[in-house]
Structure 1
Amino acid sequence: MAFGSFDNKGVSHTVSEINMVPLIDVMLVLLVIFIITAPLLSHSIKINVPQASSQPVEQEPKTIDLAVDAQGQLYWNEQAVTADQLTQKFAAEAALEPQPELRIRADLNTRYEVLAQVMSSAKAAGLKRLGFITRPGSKDAAEDHVAADKAAEPAAAR
């Protein structure tokens, strides 16, 4: 009479596979719930909303065209002004809301000192929007200008 054997035929071992049946059951229950509740979520309450026709207010800020010629003469919107008048005009324009944009258009041969004084005066008055107007040019035109400047220099300066 043998109560046990040395072979593994009678020994039970644990199964290391995931049982998918409960997961599938939960998924199907959730699917049914979503199928039933989805049409209920799409219904909305009908409300008569008042209609108004209004256009948004679009304020375009004013622009100031400040031109500086080669001699340093200043032009406020095509009218000649002095440096003192320019300071007063900057202060008056800085008080406006919205502030205008100052666009500086300078001659190619204008001294940097004049432009620096204009920009400093605009900043001191409180103008915050400042831009420069330039004209697009080709690379050849810039090289020609540099060559012309070198040719115009006196021989002692070279």
Structure 2
Amino acid sequence: MGASVSNMGGKRGGGRGGRYQPLAEINVTPFVDVMLVLLIVFMVAAPLLTAGVQVELPKAQAKPLPQDSKPLEVTVDHEGAIFIVDSPINLNELGPRLTAISDNNKDVRIYVRGDTKLDYGRVMEVIGAINASGFTKVALIAEQR
């Protein structure tokens, strides 16, 4: 029940002549813990980075276009609803909204994603509204075979 204290012959520092020697080992446990947490966060967040509106794109054998900047995406789903990224919008609001998003830059590239079950006329209405707003770099998106 008693505690014994050893003074190691009156020397401090554990018998090493009183000199303090730092521990030269790196504790990697906190580093591994942080890396595992980041791995889980990125695994959960990665599927959320895809396009917001799910559409079935047509298949094509065309090569992808070179991209100089990030284009704007306009999506038309199988019911004919129009989306900019993942927010719904009416056809008559499409031009002014694209102008506001692009800061009145008419040279921005706009990709139109249309569902395969959609009427071709609806896609042409959307492209016509984009062209009527002054945007000339409009492209259709398809999946590669």
Question: Normalised by the size of structure 2, how large is the TM-score?
Answer: 0.48
Question: Normalised by the size of structure 1, how large is the TM-score?
Answer: 0.44
Bigger Rg, which one: 1
